[in-house]
Structure 1
Amino acid sequence: MRTPFKIQEQMNALMSWNGREAQALHPIVRGALLHAIFIGIHPFIDGNGRTSRLLLNLELMKFGYEHYFSNRKSIGVLRCIRQSTYDRGLGKFVELVVKEVEASLDYIGVPCENALIQVM
């Protein structure tokens, strides 16, 4: 649930997590979690989805991955995030992002050694 009076606190916690604990995660997982958590905080009136996808792509490109693009409707991604949050875990969303990154790599002709198995 969006709580505007906690945005600064939530953003500080996200950036702290990303600077510390998240560094141990695979870049695809870290990027997916940044995307989902940022969407959950929803700090802006508009542009949260675009900004969260930029965070995801920044994480991927920092580690040599091609940028992520989704062939799915945004509403499907949001449903996946909401359902994962409801289930108390973002595993389904992370899995979706891993599959989409693999599809992106396949689309542009970059070999992919089944990243889903390596990450999950």
Structure 2
Amino acid sequence: MQVITDAKELEKHTYIKTRNPNIFPKRERLGLAQRMMNEASDLVADLMEANDLLITDPEEREQRFRVQRSALRNCRKLIHHIELAHDILSGLGDDAFAYWSRLAAGVKNQTAAWYKKDKERAAKIDAQTSRR
């Protein structure tokens, strides 16, 4: 799935940026930088888990929706922290900030579209099941 590939790229980019001492001084490594890495890693894990859960199984479907929503929350938190880093750290220039933000927003939008499409598919499955 493209969203997982893009999320992995976002995770890699986040790792590279947060490990760069010119952007994140050592005093920020255990604070903001660590939170950002955790959010990016959790985002990838959530998307991979959601992809493994079946939409046709009612129990797995609900778990899939929960994990997709968790991925969306991690995206929103990461975007917030990217904005915060841009505001408070001198090493993150406007172009670097814009690129990183676009990566995160792209993953968020893809995840939201996937969640919406899954909700529609689930409604169709439920409608077909109730007709039987």
TM-score relative to the length of structure 2: 0.33
Pair member with larger Rg: 2
Structure showing the higher helix proportion among its residues: 2
TM-score relative to the length of structure 1: 0.35
